[in-house]
Structure 1
Amino acid sequence: DRFVEVAHEALIRGWPKLRLWIDSDRQSLLVNRRLSDASVEWDDSARNDSYLYVGVRLAEAEEWSLTHADVLNPLEQEFLRESIELRNKKTAAELRQKQFRRSAFLAMAGGAFAAFLAIFAFVCFFHSQQARKESQVLSLAFASRNQLKVNNDRALLLAVEAGRAVEAMEDRRFVVDEVDKALRSVLLWQGDTLHILSGHTNSVSFATWNSEGTRILSASYDGTARVWDAENGKELICLTGHTAAVYHAAWNRAETRIVTASWDSTARIWDAENGKELVCLTGHAGRVDNAAWNEAGTRIVTASDDRTARVWDAENGKELACLTGHTVGIWQAAWNRAGTRIVTASRDNTARIWDAENGKELACLTGHNDWVTQAAWNRAGTRIVTASCDGTVRV
């Protein structure tokens, strides 16, 4: 095992991570020591329930045990198990008592003693059955929430099983909240980092998923774009060739090709399977900030700091149209679904619509009083939404 030997106490003050390790370990040891002492006292008291953990102390020990189960001795395990079982029984009993008092009051209010006895007998029988079901549901809900940080899949299965058990109950008023909390906790759980995709040697400017969620494409200031396995975080392909930062990257719809936009004034098309460079799109006189495929994967539009956007043939790299009219650099360009129109977003505070075939400007969208950073079409191609540094979004 790795360990740290402190040569001087100044190291603790000057090494925040070491101090965090020490504080974390100290808290863990404190919980363990309390649990050990409490389990011995419980055993010495002939295992009297009054010595079991309750409330905050139980919650703390229960959470700690999820990651330290291997250090618990048999007595400590039994002590914690009995404490949890007692809590579940008490919770179920409290719920039953509330319902019992309500039912008894209603019966007494009728004034008929015989009817009250009959109702009372029925309520007692009902509660015995209800108590068993409630205890089962609560155990599933509590187990789900306890598994959340350990095994998310198991937590989800337990929460779903609790939900099914609740659905089978006639009276679910007193347990439905706990089941709802368990389900919400699982569904809203953000979890921990699954993979760290390391390999870039400078800032990463952009990352995107493929359509199936099995691959990730990233672009970096180190001059490369990379493709990663989303399951294990392994680097699959490194696209090298640009001589300056790669600011943006995108798959075509079939995900057989990748286009990259770079500050070396070029965009490049790559084979998505082997990373081979296929075409270099040259012609811009400034950095290229964005590149986008049309729906068919036959055309690419690039947006540049040289105040132009350009349309290219994706097969041979030939420039087909140059969209001129913006007075400052262009952040982004996007096709409509039909591939007949292009919208551009610029630092001249406007967005503009262009004919994708001949490059003619069709409309200038004015109103923003700061840079327009993004523009996007709706699915029908009848509306455009723009985002700006002026703090507004406009349609």
Structure 2
Amino acid sequence: MPRPERPLATGDEPLPSFARELRKLRESAGNPPYRRLARDAHYSVTTLSDAAGGKTLPSLAVTLAYVRACGGDPAGWEQRWRETRALLTPAGHADPGALRPPYLGLSAFGTGDADRFFGRAALLETLLGRVRQHRLVAVLGASGSGKSSLLHAGLAGTGTRPAVTFTPGASPIEECALRLAAFTGASATALHREFTDDPAAVHLRVRQALAGHPAGTELLLVVDQFEELFTLCADAAERQAFTTALTHAATASRSQARVVLGVRSDFFAHCARHPELEPALGAGQVLVGPLSPGELREAIVKPAAAAQYTVESELVARLVAEAADQPGALPLISHALLETWHRRQGMALTVAAYEQTGGVRHALARTAEHAYAGFDEPQRAMARQILLRLTALGEGTEDTKRRVARSELDDTATVRAVLDALTAARLITVDHDTVEVTHEALIKHWPRLREWLAADREALRIHRQLSGDAAVWESLRRDPDTLYRGTRLARARELAGTALTARERAFLDAGLAAESAQLSASRRRSRLLRALVVLLAALLGATTVATVAALRATGLVTAQRDTVLAQQVAEEAIALRAGNPALAAQLALAAYRLRPTPGNRDALVSAVTIPLGHPQEVDAAAFGPDGRLLATAAADHRVRLWSLADPAHPALLATITGHTDAVHAVAFDPGGKVLATAGRDRTVRLWDLRDAAHPAQLAVLTGHRDSIYSLAYAPDGRTLATASYDHTVRLWDVRVPAAPVELPTLTTHERNVKAVAFSPDSRLLASGGDDRTVRLWDVGDPARPVERAVLTGHTDLVVTVAFSRDGRTVASGGDDRTVRLWPTTGPARPAVLSGHTDVVTSLAYSPDRHWLASAGYDHSVRLWDITRQTPALSATLTGHTGAVEWVTFSPDGHLLATAGDDHVALLWETDPARAAARACEIARPSITRQEWDAYFPGVDYRPPC
């Protein structure tokens, strides 16, 4: 499900207003997904979503393409665009898209905000010196003192060392794994498992990531809001493991990491309970105090001056007088200045505009009250519920902000409206899948929120516990054993009349229903017991006869039980795969052996996939001709080469850089010595792989006028075909890879061309596109291609094509969710394969001519048995958590590689016997009797490996 667009700023500023009108136009068109707009507008999803993002003014060409795709009036919108550009071009601002506030309000500075970070030069120099002298440093200060800004815009923003920054959250080991995975290119799942098993592994991963950097390079590991380790992380063991991992990474022999912690000063005592942090809390400590009057003047005046604004001297003096030497005043000053900037007169920030905001002491409360006043009664109740959820109650410390998953809040119109309004007022921040208060200053300085927090803190604690337990219940598929009982249920019962989410209410209602059912069952048991005494004597005589019948029925009942149990365990194995792969593999194998059904076989294959992690979406994959290399192309502009010398343990061999945008396609030449890559930057690049660990660029092919979606080598190695959003297929003579020659361009498609594929004899080329056609071309002489057939029948866009191994069939798939098999020998109706529930994105035939694999947006890969007269679905493989963009078989057919939007490529064993062997390779530790009994009650303990 696509994520909702970020809310736009309120007010009548030109950029948000322009973006708001674009969004209204899209709404009037029925809110088509950006993927569909991209196909109609011939611009990428990112370009179109940025156009309505409200941060920069899109180009006129992008604007008109967006408007046409939504059915708007291009002429009227061209005038609207020119008027907006005029409004965004004040004196001194040549680039209308560059207009941005000089102040950040409640938001902390990021690494990209160094040009607006002033007033901390002396403190930054002290911090840099401390980091040079000590490998473990703690930056302490009161809430609002500017710790986060110093760490991000100051320390990490200097660029003197590669840096990884993150906050611990509720699962610090997981957060660490995610950030280091993005930095290293490794699998986040694998890193999480590795760091959990051995916290010292962080040190080794850092060294591995820096192996290709110049000698002496060190990684700066910045953990901001370290107090979340105590306010959000409830697992003491994970807290200890995380601190151990950080301190070991900083202090181990041959360490290449320097760790800096940002900690609120009132959590000093909590940190002191961990002796390993003593170096940071002692000699490695940096204290962040309030700005001096001189520093405060710099923080006020210099950001404005850098953006060519002026601040009235009387306003500067007033701000300094109101806020100098006041701890925690920085976010209030920044918020007041941002609101003043919105009310500026020309290029000047004036006292009059500042007084309209309410000043340092009242600007934040006034903003919050203004947002709250705009809500109706249901929205006000929801705003209270949301803001209370976003506050962590202090235990001997001040209340702090709490980051929550978006899924913790109901997806209703009321919730969305409140989130949009609070985000637009910059009171909260919605980032991907999380929501949090923008700054703790809101908790401290908005009287209404303070009143809510003081009203019934014990009820808030009970509710917070209920929320967490409801999430656990949901994650365990509503396991009745996790429901509240007894005293806990009695305490939670008091929340029944309060504002709960649907999940929380369902959890509480389920507990109350279970209690009611238990009481009813107890009453029934009492009545039945009395009746049982009367019947017992009568039943005794019938026992002998019943025994014989029971023995016959036992076998049937046992078989039925095993079938149901095996299916349940197989499904649970898939769910366990990310967190406990060893147990998941053993459960899947045991379930398959208990009942070797097709569904259990698919679960076994899915449970032993090998993930190859990437920092962004993976769009394509290709095996080398000998099966020892795998190339993956991703949205991070990179192509990665993996060694499959040991297929069970792929190793990253090289990362190819050169493209300036997402890479959509990758293909090896038949000899395996050249790799072709192409993507959104409109170029095709050829790479010399004679030394696969050090690929060298041979040539750059240009000519396409829009994104290149796919490419294919002819099996004879003479020709390369490329398909593009510019409605064309281009042919290239690549017999001399360093000097490719452009051949004729195929131009009969009426819209974007998504797919190309050559027949096994290199004489036919198939192309498919957004005009819903598949076209067959005779390219026996590539210099004189001839269109041979136009295949029609798809009811929506064609995304993928593939030739069978004998060349007699071409398969196609696309947005109509079908796969169609067309004979190439003459006109005939295609066979239609239905099963996918969303767009079919990729097709591949197996080398043994037995299978056709199809991948789709429905997160699945399907294997079709094409040996039958009527092809039939044989397997459905699930493992990706996002759309599957690509599927391909290894040359020997034993492996299947897939690429997905979930930032991973997966390697699958296609043979159940090989999948079983793979399961036993990773079955460490072996399943215990206790685990066996939990999943296979009543079945004899038989570890599968």
State the TM bucket, normalised to the shorter chain: 0.5 to 0.7
2:755 is the counterpart of 1:296: no
1:309 aligns with 2:774: yes
Shift of 1:334: 0.7
Q: Is the 8 A contact 2:161 2:218 kept in 1?
A: no
Deviation at 1:245, TM superposition (A): 1.2
CA RMSD after TM alignment: 3.7
Q: Deviations over 1:62-93 (max 9, x none)?
A: 984599xxxxxxxxxxxxxxxxxxxxxxxxxx
User: How many residues matched?
Assistant: 244
1:213 deviates by 3.6
Out of 826, 830, 834, the residue aligned to residue 358 of structure 1 is 826
CA displacement at 1:333 relative to structure 2: 0.7
Partner of 2:714: 252
Distance in 2 between residues matched to 1:22 and 1:236, nearest whole Å: 33
Structure 2 letter corresponding to 1:248: S
Instruction: Give the superposition deviation at 1:233.
Output: 3.0
Q: Which residue of 1 aligns with 2:667?
A: 208
Match of 1:222 among 668, 681, 685: 681
Q: Return the alpha-carbon distance in structure 2 between the equivalents of residues 185 and 251 of structure 1.
A: 27
Q: Are the structure 2 counterparts of residues 214 and 26 from structure 1 closer, same or farther at C-alpha, using a change threshold of 3 Å?
A: closer
Q: Distance in 2 between matches of 1:295 and 1:229?
A: 24
1:16-42 deviation line (CA, Å, top 9, x unaligned): 2648659998999xxxxxxxxxxxxxx
Measure, in 2, the Cα distance between the counterparts of 1:189 and 1:366: 34
Offset from partner CA, 1:232-279 (integer Å, 9 cap, x none): 332211111212111111111122211101111111110112221112
**Aligned counterpart, 1:265:** 727
Q: Which residue of 2 aligns with 1:190?
A: 651
Considering fraction of residues, name the structure with more strand: 1
Residue 799 of structure 2 corresponds to residue 331 of structure 1: yes
Q: State the Cα distance separating 1:281 from its structure 2 match.
A: 1.3
Residue 189 of structure 1, CA deviation: 7.0
Q: Distance in 2 between matches of 1:186 and 1:374?
A: 23
The within-5 A match list for 1:316-395 is 316-392=784-860, 393-395=862-864
Deviations 1:283-318 (A, max 9, x none): 111111110111111110001111001000112221
Any conservation in 1 of the 2:249–2:255 contact (CA below 8 Å)? no
Give yes or no for contact 1:281–1:312 (8 Å, CA) kept in 2. Answer: no
Distance 2:710 2:719 in 1: 14
CA distance in 1, matches of 2:648, 2:839: 38
What's the counterpart of residue 242 of structure 1?
A: 704
1:13 is displaced (CA, Å) by 3.9
Instruction: Report the CA distance between 1:353 and its aligned residue.
Output: 0.8
CA distance in 2, matches of 1:185, 1:295: 29
Q: Structure 2: how far apart are the matches of 1:388 and 1:369?
A: 8
User: Does the CA-based 8 Å contact 1:333-1:375 persist in structure 2?
Assistant: yes
The 3-state SS of whatever aligns with 1:331 is: strand
Give the letter aligned to residue 829 of structure 2: E
* Separation in structure 1 between the aligned mates of residue 647 and residue 833 of structure 2, nearest angstrom: 44
Cα distance in 1 between the residues matched to 2:218 and 2:701 = 47
Identify the residue that residue 176 of structure 1 maps to in structure 2: none
- Asked if the contact 1:281–1:318 (Cα under 8 Å) also holds between the matched residues in 2, the reply is no
Q: In structure 1, what residue type is equivalent to 2:806?
A: A
Q: Is the 8 A contact 2:670 2:713 kept in 1?
A: no
Cα distance in structure 2, aligned partners of 1:26 and 1:212: 38
Structure 1 residue 324 displacement after superposition: 0.4
- The structure with higher relative contact order (CA 8 Å, sep 6+) is 2
1:320 is aligned with what amino acid?
R
Which secondary structure does the structure 1 equivalent of 2:651 belong to? coil
Contact 2:668–2:713 (8 Å) recurs in 1 = no
Q: Mark the CA change 1:246 to 1:22 in structure 2 (over 3 Å): closer, same or farther.
A: closer
Mapped to 2, the partners of 1:233 and 1:286 lie a distance apart of: 35
Per-residue CA deviation, residues 320-342 of structure 1 (Å, 9 max, x unaligned), is 01110000011111111111111
Q: How far apart, CA to CA, are the structure 2 residues paired with 1:187 and 1:373?
A: 27
- How far has the Cα of 1:382 moved from its partner? 4.8
Specify the alignment match of 2:180 in structure 1: none
Match of 1:280 in 2: 745
- Kindly state the Cα deviation for residue 212 of structure 1 after the two structures are TM-superposed: 4.1
**1:122 matched to which residue of 2?**
none
Q: Which amino acid aligns with 2:654?
A: L
Residue equivalent to 1:77: none
3-state secondary structure, aligned to 1:328: coil
SS at match of 1:369: coil
SS in structure 2 of the partner of residue 280 of structure 1 = strand
Once the two structures are TM-superposed, the CA of residue 387 in structure 1 deviates from its matched residue by 2.2
2:161–2:217 CA contact under 8 A, matched in 1? no
SS at match of 2:703: coil
**1:79-133 Cα distance to aligned partner (Å, 9 max, x none):** xxxxxxxxxxxxxxxxxxxxxxxxxxxxxxxxxxxxxxxxxxxxxxxxxxxxxxx
> What amino acid does structure 1 have at the position aligned with 2:732?
W
- Relative distance call for 1:327 and 1:64 in structure 2 (3 A) is same
Mapped to 2, the partners of 1:27 and 1:384 lie a distance apart of: 48
| Distance change (3 Å), C-alpha of 1:7 and 1:375 | same
**What letter is aligned with 1:216?**
L
- One-letter amino acid matched to 2:828: K
The residue type paired with residue 16 of structure 1 is: A
Q: Is the 8 A contact 1:352 1:362 kept in 2?
A: yes
**What amino acid does structure 2 have at the position aligned with 1:296?**
D
Deviation at 1:391, TM superposition (A): 3.4
Equivalent pair of 2:162/2:218 in contact (CA under 8 Å): no
Give the percent of matched residue pairs that are identical in Structure 1 and Structure 2: 28
> For 1:194, what is the secondary structure of its paired residue?
strand
Query: Could you tell me which amino acid in structure 1 is paired with residue 719 of structure 2?
Result: R
Tell me the secondary structure at the aligned position of residue 766 of structure 2.
strand
CA positional deviation for 1:381: 3.7
Alpha carbons 1:336, 1:377 under 8 Å: kept: yes
Within 2, Cα distance between the matches of 1:327 and 1:187? Answer: 41
Distance in 2 (alpha carbons) for counterparts of 1:197 and 1:345: 31
Q: Is the 8 A contact 1:323 1:360 kept in 2?
A: no
Q: Which moved more, 1:205-214 or 1:243-252?
A: 205-214
Contact 1:239–1:276, Cα closer than 8 Å, also in 2? no
